[in-house]
Amino acid sequence: MTTRLTVAQATVRFLANQWTERDGVEQRLVAGCFGIFGHGNVAGLGQALLQATTQGDADLPYHLARNEQAMVHAAAAFAKTRNRLQTLACTASIGPGSTNMVTGAALATTNRLPVLLLPSDFFATRVASPVLQELEDPRSYDVSVNDALKPVSRFWDRVNRPEQLPSALLAAMRVLTDPAETGAVTLCLPQDVQAEAFDWPEEMFDRRVWHVRRPVPEPAVLDRAVATIRAARRPLIVAGGGVVYADAADALVRLAEATGVPVSDTHAGKGAIPWDHPQAVGGVGSTGSPVANRLAREADVVIGLGTRYSDFTTASRTQFANPGVSFVNLNVTAFDSAKHSAVAVVTDARSGLTALTEALAGWRVDEDYVAAYQAHQTEWNREVDHAFRLGHEPAPAQTEVLGALHDVLDPSDVIVQAAGSLPGDLQMLWRARDPKSYNVEYAYSCMGYEIAGGLGTKMADPGREVFVLVGDGSYLMMAQEIVTAVAEGIKLNIVLIQNHGFASIGALSDSVGSQRFGTSYRRRNPDTGLLDGEVLPVDLAANAASLGADVIRTTTIDELRAALAKSRASDRTTVVEIVTDPLAPVPSSDSWWDVPVAETSQLESTRAARAAYEKDKAAQRGYLRPADPNAADTRKSSKERDGR
């Protein structure tokens, strides 16, 4: 039995029938489709989506975005919120629509988040080449701009003939639903092929359930991990995104409570352990808390859970400074688990944590160790309280904005952020209680993710209030999805932090001796020749109002607190603007980040920064030491020490 449909109609019908299953729970894999139409997809996927919507042909709701990069960000945020078990498809026209998706694809792949991209492509038959927006490469007629999506996709294919579609779709679904391989998945659909009819085998459209695996650790490797941990005196857990995606927060807390090991976290792992749990020590690394960073400096065994060990986590490989440090990594990808010469336990985070807790039964760290880190944590919590209520004048500090948010938000409300000085402040200061309350994209740290990411987050979890925190720089890059939110009746709270430029890169520039050059949004100053003149007459609140949002302007923290409460209570997308001082003080993380400084310079500021840089850089480590060269001996000695 066959069904005659176009390639686009078959794609839509197929996608509407894909499901994921984990722990017995089934969900739609592709819950909808974002798009922007042009000649590449209007008659192909556009027609198929219209037919799906109006004829009940297939259940794949269509959402019109305002920018292709942003729609991929929204899809990634959606997938992140749904723990990678669901995502959205994104259709773009050929040429610029498709290449606009490259940054979104890179963000998704870097963050290991599934998104399905359906860029259109020029005619497979080439009869009308070069078509509008076709890149002509004189060396090969087979090259298209969509090839730019290859290095940022975990699976990439071009469907040049209808017969190729079934295998391409199946491969795409497999990669999307594989926790170790997932990321951006790209199926390029030439515009003529999209409209071409074919007789499809009916079983192609059967309901298909993709089991999302939870691999368990190999016993021999688990033994090595247990031996290494049992021999540790000052272990530290680093909880990453894998813990959240595997729904392993409870398993993490059980391991921590059974063993006394302190738990630090990365951006993607924040909230996996509630901030006020007695064993939570906060963010680790360049923008982490001084408590976690002190533990990291002294740790003899680092237990990395679902983390990719970005340079922010390792402070560019200086944070784990104990000369004898070894790593035990539990990760669903072999690639990440092997980092830093670790005992590489390839496992789903929840399966691995459960097995580890069982295998470590009876073992606990010294109570002195626990008492010491808990005392430091209590001190640090007081410092955070102080940063939340700094009373900085005349314009408030950004840390006070976080304080106001902390006062007004419900613990289940979601913070969405990605770039600027906010990620650092949030990793250090934000008090997350719930693993889904913190969506800070800090793998690609892409300016422009914020509002689009907020949109995807709210679509994925409409029951929660979503607070997008966005700097003026990021806002100016990508604010247009406010219009999508308004059109769809999707309510966002957007906190716009106006500090007239890049507080983050300004501070970084200062620290590397570059004198904040080119980091302020100011008029060109005729005296200096630099962009350090008057503040610009830019009114971003007016801009937000023009896009259809309600707007509240604030200048003090009291006004901000009231505005946040009003925004939260409203059912309309609201932008709350606050002007802050980009130079206000922030607590120190007691850490470092490797940003190379000019080796030779005519500027004294650069020479001084270079001298400091060379000193800091000397602490950088390779982490080459094998994790447990004598696993058997270690096991024996740990058993002896335990008196077993």
Ligand X SMILES: Cc1ncc(C[n+]2csc(CCOP(=O)(O)OP(=O)(O)O)c2C)c(N)n1
Sites of contact with ligand X (CB under 6 A): 419-422, 445-448, 471-474, 499, 502-505, 582
Asked whether 441 and 302 are in contact (CB, 8 A), the reply is: no
Say which entry of ligand X, Mg ion, none residue 446 contacts (CB below 5 to 8 A, set by partner kind): ligand X
Q: How many helices (H) and strands (E) does the chain have?
A: 25, 23
Based on CB atoms, which residue is closest to ligand X, 162 or 506? 506
Distance CA 429, CA 274 (A): 13
Sign of CA dihedral 166, 171, 176, 179: positive
Residue 356, H or E segment: helix 349-359
Phi, psi of 194 (to 5 degrees): -55, -35
Smallest distance from ligand X to CB 473, Å: 3
Buried b (16+ CB within 10 A) or exposed e, 21-43: ebeeeeebbbbbbbbbbbbbbbb
Say which entry of ligand X, Mg ion, none residue 245 contacts (CB below 5 to 8 A, set by partner kind): none
Q: Which two tokens stand for residue 252?
A: 């993490």
Say which entry of Mg ion, ligand X, none residue 36 contacts (CB below 5 to 8 A, set by partner kind): none
Distance CA 282, CA 248 (A): 18
Say which entry of ligand X, Mg ion, none residue 586 contacts (CB below 5 to 8 A, set by partner kind): none
Smallest distance from Mg ion to CB 578, Å: 12
Based on CB atoms, which residue is closest to ligand X, 45 or 71? 71
Smallest distance from ligand X to CB 420, Å: 3
Smallest distance from ligand X to CB 107, Å: 10
- Residues pairing with 330 in the sheet: 305, 345
Asked whether 420 and 476 are in contact (CB, 8 A), the reply is: no
Q: Which two tokens stand for residue 22?
A: 């984990």
Based on CB atoms, which residue is closest to ligand X, 20 or 421? 421
In sequence order, what are the residues at sequence separation of 6 or more whose Cβ sits closer than 8 angstroms to the Cβ of residue 392? 400, 581, 584, 585
Based on CB atoms, which residue is closest to ligand X, 177 or 445? 445
Smallest distance from ligand X to CB 505, Å: 5
Smallest distance from Mg ion to CB 582, Å: 7
Smallest distance from ligand X to CB 472, Å: 4
Say which entry of Mg ion, ligand X, none residue 232 contacts (CB below 5 to 8 A, set by partner kind): none
Say which entry of ligand X, Mg ion, none residue 634 contacts (CB below 5 to 8 A, set by partner kind): none
Smallest distance from Mg ion to CB 498, Å: 7
Smallest distance from ligand X to CB 340, Å: 26
Say which entry of Mg ion, ligand X, none residue 421 contacts (CB below 5 to 8 A, set by partner kind): ligand X
Ramachandran assignment for 317, one of left (phi > 0), alpha (psi -120 to 50 degrees), beta (any other): left
Say which entry of ligand X, Mg ion, none residue 447 contacts (CB below 5 to 8 A, set by partner kind): ligand X
Strands 18-22 and 25-28: antiparallel
Specify the residue for token string 């906190």. 495
Based on CB atoms, which residue is closest to ligand X, 188 or 446? 446
Residues in contact with Mg ion by the rule CB under 5 A: 471-473, 499
Smallest distance from ligand X to CB 504, Å: 3
Q: Which two tokens stand for residue 101?
A: 């998706």
Q: Which two tokens stand for residue 625?
A: 């030491």
Asked whether 115 and 76 are in contact (CB, 8 A), the reply is: yes
Distance CA 168, CA 165 (A): 5
Q: Which two tokens stand for residue 426?
A: 């949030």
Q: Which two tokens stand for residue 551?
A: 């707007």
Distance CA 473, CA 462 (A): 27
Say which entry of ligand X, Mg ion, none residue 445 contacts (CB below 5 to 8 A, set by partner kind): ligand X
Give 135's DSSP letter: P
Phi, psi of 181 (to 5 degrees): -105, -10
Smallest distance from ligand X to CB 506, Å: 7
Based on CB atoms, which residue is closest to Mg ion, 78 or 475? 475
Based on CB atoms, which residue is closest to Mg ion, 68 or 472? 472
Smallest distance from ligand X to CB 491, Å: 23
Say which entry of Mg ion, ligand X, none residue 505 contacts (CB below 5 to 8 A, set by partner kind): ligand X
Residue nearest to Mg ion according to CB distances in the complex: 471
Say which entry of ligand X, Mg ion, none residue 422 contacts (CB below 5 to 8 A, set by partner kind): ligand X
Based on CB atoms, which residue is closest to Mg ion, 165 or 503? 503
Buried b (16+ CB within 10 A) or exposed e, 84-109: bbbbbbbbbbbbebbbbbbbbbbbbb
Based on CB atoms, which residue is closest to ligand X, 583 or 612? 583
Q: Peptide bond before 290: cis, by omega within 30 degrees of 0?
A: no
Based on CB atoms, which residue is closest to Mg ion, 171 or 507? 507
Based on CB atoms, which residue is closest to Mg ion, 17 or 520? 520
Specify the residue for token string 């990439």. 156
- Alpha helices per DSSP H over 463-595: 472-477, 481-488, 503-511, 540-546, 557-569
Based on CB atoms, which residue is closest to Mg ion, 288 or 582? 582
